[in-house]
Amino acid sequence: MMGAWSRALTCLTLLLATPALTTDITDLPFIKTCVTEHNQHRANVQPAASNMRYMTWDEGLAVTARAWARKCLFIHNTHLKEEGRVHPVFSSVGENLWAGTHFSVQGAIKSWADEVKDYSYSTMTCKQVCGHYTQVVWANTYKVGCAVQYCPNGVEQTPFYPRQAFIFVCNYGTAGNVFNQKPYRTGPECRDCTGELCENRLCRNTDRDALRNYNWTPDWDPALSECGSLCKAVLITRPVSLLVIFISVYCIQRRYPDLFAYT
């Protein structure tokens, strides 16, 4: 009997350990991966950069990314040029989008960085699409906030719509891709970052790199602005918990049909 219960508990544990389809923007491993992947590509640009800033996470940018990703729509945020509507501080915000049926942070950011193959630094020309790459390695950009959304009914404006898919959005402050400007200056690492710490070929500044909290949500996303932290936690936790309970009961009863539970 103990062996049977052990197997049942193992089944339940596996169900509970299954990762959520959508990772929250406060999830520390998710944040770390987003930041690390960006900085890795920034540190390894060719030709080498002399003014590439280290990039850190920004809560406000992540909130905007989450709000837009929830639309499951593969077009750029229509409010990016409207000051104060995508961030409480940055007047200029950039954005990269990715969508696909299988998602990883590393894979999505790599797909942007891989556009370098079509970009010529010397002539500032692009054979196909390069804007995602140049935003990732834009030297003056120093904050990033990302969000991923699972879309069971598909991501509109994609070739695989209406198949279930993911959309991944990253917002950047300040925005890159300024007309007629190169993404960074070339030369010895950190040469043009006077008075700043040089770490892994990136320029670090304590004040600039500090994490900041904003009591802010974009006014074009009423679902977020009307729902506080507790409300959002309940909305997320309750359906997930119910799903886990139903699947757990089904799994246990399939394995042990003579077992009954009363509440």
Which CATH number do you get for residue 75?
A: 3.40.33.10
Whether residues 205 and 82 fall in one domain: yes
Whether residues 176 and 124 fall in one domain: yes
Total structural domains within the chain: 2
The pLDDT, as a whole number, for residue 61 is: 98
Whether residues 202 and 255 fall in one domain: no
Whether residues 137 and 241 fall in one domain: no
Whether residues 136 and 251 fall in one domain: no
Q: Please check whether residue 119 is in contact with residue 130, taking contact to mean a CB–CB distance below 8 angstroms.
A: yes
User: Residue 241 — φ and ψ, nearest 5°?
Assistant: -65, -45
Mean pLDDT of 104-115: 99
User: Is residue 5 included in any domain, yes or no?
Assistant: no
User: Is residue 1 included in any domain, yes or no?
Assistant: no
Whether residues 53 and 152 fall in one domain: yes
Is residue 186 helix, strand or coil? strand
User: Is residue 223 included in any domain, yes or no?
Assistant: no
Mean pLDDT of 94-120: 99
Mean pLDDT of 93-100: 99
Residue 124 has pLDDT above 50, yes or no: yes
Answer with the residue of higher pLDDT: 5 or 66. 66
User: Is residue 219 included in any domain, yes or no?
Assistant: no
Q: Please check whether residue 192 is in contact with residue 202, taking contact to mean a CB–CB distance below 8 angstroms.
A: no
Mean pLDDT of 167-191: 98
How far is residue 88's CA from residue 79's CA, in Å, rounded to a whole number? 13
pLDDT digits (tens, 9 = 90+) for 38-58: 999 999 999 999 999 999 999
User: Is residue 59 included in any domain, yes or no?
Assistant: yes
Whether residues 207 and 83 fall in one domain: yes
The pLDDT, as a whole number, for residue 59 is: 98
Whether residues 189 and 251 fall in one domain: no
Q: Please check whether residue 32 is in contact with residue 172, taking contact to mean a CB–CB distance below 8 angstroms.
A: no
User: Is residue 199 included in any domain, yes or no?
Assistant: yes
How far is residue 37's CA from residue 26's CA, in Å, rounded to a whole number? 17
Query: Within 13 Å, how many C-alpha atoms sit on residue 123's CB side?
Result: 6
Kind plus residue range of the DSSP H or E element containing 149: strand 143-151
The pLDDT, as a whole number, for residue 240 is: 60
Name which of 12-21, 50-59, 98-107, 244-253 the model is least confident about.
Answer: 12-21
Whether residues 115 and 142 fall in one domain: yes
Is residue 54 helix, strand or coil? coil
- Percent over 70 (pLDDT), the chain: 77
User: Is residue 125 included in any domain, yes or no?
Assistant: yes
Whether residues 169 and 130 fall in one domain: yes
- Among 208, 209, 169, smallest CA distance to 62 is for 169
How far is residue 138's CA from residue 253's CA, in Å, rounded to a whole number? 56
The pLDDT, as a whole number, for residue 255 is: 72
Mean pLDDT of 150-173: 98
User: Is residue 174 included in any domain, yes or no?
Assistant: yes
pLDDT digits (tens, 9 = 90+) for 194-237: 999 999 999 999 999 999 999 999 999 856 544 555 455 545 55
Q: Which amino acid is at 195?
A: G
Whether residues 207 and 159 fall in one domain: yes
The pLDDT, as a whole number, for residue 247 is: 79
The pLDDT, as a whole number, for residue 4 is: 45
Strands 143-151 and 56-57 turn out to be parallel
- Beta-carbon neighbour count of residue 183 at 10 Å? 24
pTM over 0.75: yes
How far is residue 40's CA from residue 34's CA, in Å, rounded to a whole number? 10
Mean pLDDT of 66-91: 97
The pLDDT, as a whole number, for residue 10 is: 41
Whether residues 149 and 252 fall in one domain: no
Query: Within 13 Å, how many C-alpha atoms sit on residue 249's CB side?
Result: 9
Tokens of 35: 């930041």
User: For all residues of the chain together, what is the average pLDDT?
Assistant: 87
Mean pLDDT of 6-19: 41
* Separation of first and last alpha carbons in the chain: 22
The whole domain housing 248 covers 228-262
Mean pLDDT of 133-156: 99
